[in-house]
Amino acid sequence: MMFKLGHSINQPVNLPNSKGVELFIKREDEIHPFVSGNKYRKLKYNLLEAKKKGFKTLLTFGGAFSNHIAAVASAGNLLGFKTIGVIRGEELENKILDNETLSFAKQNGMQFKFVSREAYRNKTSEAFLAKLKDTFNDFYLIPEGGTNALAVKGCEEILTETDKAFDYICCAVGTGGTISGLINCSKLSQQVLGFPALKGDFLQQDISKFVTKTNWDLITDYHFGGYAKINDELVAFINTFKELNKIPLDPVYTGKMMFGVFDLINKGYFKKGSKILAIHTGGLQGIKGMNRVLKNKNLQIIE
């Protein structure tokens, strides 16, 4: 599209106890080393729209370990856009070099505006956006996590004709854009399962804004306490999965989703003979930052 891309293949997954089902993982993480997985999909049509309308600057929002922030910074650098990141947490302003995500974004030319968590909650208000316009002049606004109608359009390209043989499509859910695209491009005979990475019941409503099909459900039992919350059990699973399959998983999204899929297989959730496709949405850049947190707590790190 706008820069050279790798290939997304469906790779079989080793199942210690298959329960008569087959599991494959779509390697969307291999699309691009920095703008990978669903981040490329969500940004594709937004960046084309920004270019078409003559914008020179992209502005978006995110937290300390945001895959979206890293991807926007990298894509902007590759395509000649100036990028601005509005970052949740004023305390991070003097800790950029201690944060792998923010230091990477800075290396790619991103300018930051750090705001309090209270102010961040109002980031979509007209008053907040008007202040940003006063500070940074004109910019193309990309929502937190990248989810809007153009992002969903990009995510509708994840599934191809070769994927129509799968009975279940599974993916991690953050802001709902990726699963919305998957639902829209799925066959009615397929069931799309989303595994939210954070607590809350708002996602059902958010996803419903973008879809009309009803062949989907959210599995809310595998968020491990909330966004970016993990424990030794999850870390051990991610490390074992990588050892058996030579596939790294991120701890915030895809690791939780795959843990959930394995657990549901063990519990007999999927009918015998089912073919399951799990979507690897990337996010591997966040492992370094998470490992720093784990080390500080004297916990097992992600290999």
From residue 126, alpha-carbon distances to 50, 112, 129, 130, 132 in Å are 20, 20, 5, 6, 10
pLDDT tens-place string over residues 190-230:
999 999 998 877 899 999 999 999 999 999 999 999 988 99
Of the pLDDT bands very low, low, confident and very high (cuts 50, 70, 90), residue 171 is very high
- Give CA–CA dist 17/261, Å, rounded: 12
Of the pLDDT bands very low, low, confident and very high (cuts 50, 70, 90), residue 58 is very high
159 DSSP assignment: S
Residue 84 has pLDDT above 70, yes or no: yes
- The answer to whether 106 and 95 have CB atoms below 8 angstroms apart is no
- Give CA–CA dist 249/140, Å, rounded: 31
pLDDT tens-place string over residues 104-157:
999 999 999 999 999 999 999 999 999 999 999 999 999 999 999 999 999 999
Write the CB contacts of 223 (distance below 8 Å, at least 6 apart in sequence). Answer: 196, 197, 198, 199, 229, 256
- The answer to whether 293 and 183 have CB atoms below 8 angstroms apart is no
Residue 1 has pLDDT above 60, yes or no: no
Write the CB contacts of 95 (distance below 8 Å, at least 6 apart in sequence). Answer: 102
Given this model, what pLDDT does residue 82 score?
Answer: 98
Residue 235 has pLDDT above 90, yes or no: yes
Question: Mean pLDDT over residues 22-46, rounded?
Answer: 96
Q: Residues of the chain with pLDDT > 90: what percent?
A: 91
For 267, phi then psi, to 5°, come to -85, 0
Of the pLDDT bands very low, low, confident and very high (cuts 50, 70, 90), residue 65 is confident
pLDDT tens-place string over residues 147-165:
999 999 999 999 999 999 9
